[in-house]
Structure 1
Amino acid sequence: MKSCIFCYPELDSSQQVIMENKNCLFLQKEQKILKGSGLIVPKNHKETVFDLNQEEWEDTHDLMLEVKNWLDEEFSPDGYNIGYNCLETGGQHIFHAHMHIIPRFQDEPYAGRGIRHWLKQESNRRIKR
């Protein structure tokens, strides 16, 4: 995985490591839309969240809480979306597990539309059942 930008964050000069612990990194790129958004990634290459071991889960959790405290101080969001996309159909584009942490703000045009929004849209109904 020598070309993986999460295994080797320095390959993408637009992202930076904001904080880390033994098994995980919190990465950010400059965001023009939702400031403060970033990713928690395991340091070892794991394709999806389903591949994380117990220690990686624990370090993900610990880092998530540190990131939340930092984002609360830096940006004072009104809410958060947190989640994983898994595999291509699930919206994963980089096949190294990564947790999205997205601070949300009341003055956004799409405020209040959480990660379940598309579950409720008739236009997203499957053609075959």
Structure 2
Amino acid sequence: MPREQILLENELAIAFFDKYPVQEGHLLVIPKRHAITYFDATEEEIVAIHQLIYKGKQHIDQQYQPNGYNIGVNIGEHGGQTIMHLHFHLIPRYKGDVADPRGGIRKAIPNLVAYP
């Protein structure tokens, strides 16, 4: 990943905007070391990712002023994982982005950019 695309970084993880965002401000947070899934990451990597999720929320709050958030991680092909490197989605949500937001991640929200 080109350094200029990295928004946030600590010793074990980086954060950057998703190439195929489902909402404006959609952020990905990943470990620097290759780990395929959440269950392959170390406790230290999960803590580092968590720290960047908090910092990412602060950045998104300032830049986009969302009304809510979803945090998600897909695990395995049948869990929807298409990139086989652990990544957390920090997805800002906006009033009116779906007609009825109840159920949150239980419902799919349309992508702003078509996913290949």
The TM-score range, normalised by the shorter chain, is 0.7 to 0.9
1:79 pairs with one of 63, 68, 72: 68
TM-aligned CA deviation for residue 79 of structure 1:
0.5
- CA distance, structure 1, for counterparts of residue 19 and residue 84 of structure 2: 21
TM-aligned CA deviation for residue 33 of structure 1:
5.2
Gaps of 5+ in 1: 1-8, 119-129
Structure number with greater CO (CA < 8 Å, separation at least 6) is 2
Cα deviation 1:17-37 (Å, max 9, x = unaligned): 111111001011466751100
TM-aligned CA deviation for residue 111 of structure 1:
5.2
Aligned letter for 2:27?
Answer: G
For the pair shown, the structure with the greater C-alpha radius of gyration is 1
Gaps of 5+ in 2: 109-116
Q: 1:71 to 1:47 in 2, by over 3 A?
A: same
2:53 pairs with one of 57, 60, 64: 64
1:1-129 alignment, distance < 5 Å: 9-10=1-2, 16-29=5-18, 34-110=23-99, 112=101, 113-117=103-107
Instruction: Figure out how many residues of one structure are paired with residues of the other and give that number.
Output: 106
Kept in 1: contact 2:13–2:48 (CA 8 A): yes
Cα deviation 1:56-112 (Å, max 9, x = unaligned): 011111111111111111111000010100110000000000001100001213551
Aligned letter for 2:35?
Answer: K
Kept in 1: contact 2:22–2:91 (CA 8 A): no
- CA distance, structure 1, for counterparts of residue 97 and residue 79 of structure 2: 25
Cα deviation 1:2-56 (Å, max 9, x = unaligned): xxxxxxx13xxxx921111110010114667511001000000000011111110
- CA distance, structure 1, for counterparts of residue 25 and residue 53 of structure 2: 13
Kept in 1: contact 2:14–2:32 (CA 8 A): yes
Structure 2 partner of 1:123? none
- CA distance, structure 2, for counterparts of residue 90 and residue 36 of structure 1: 23
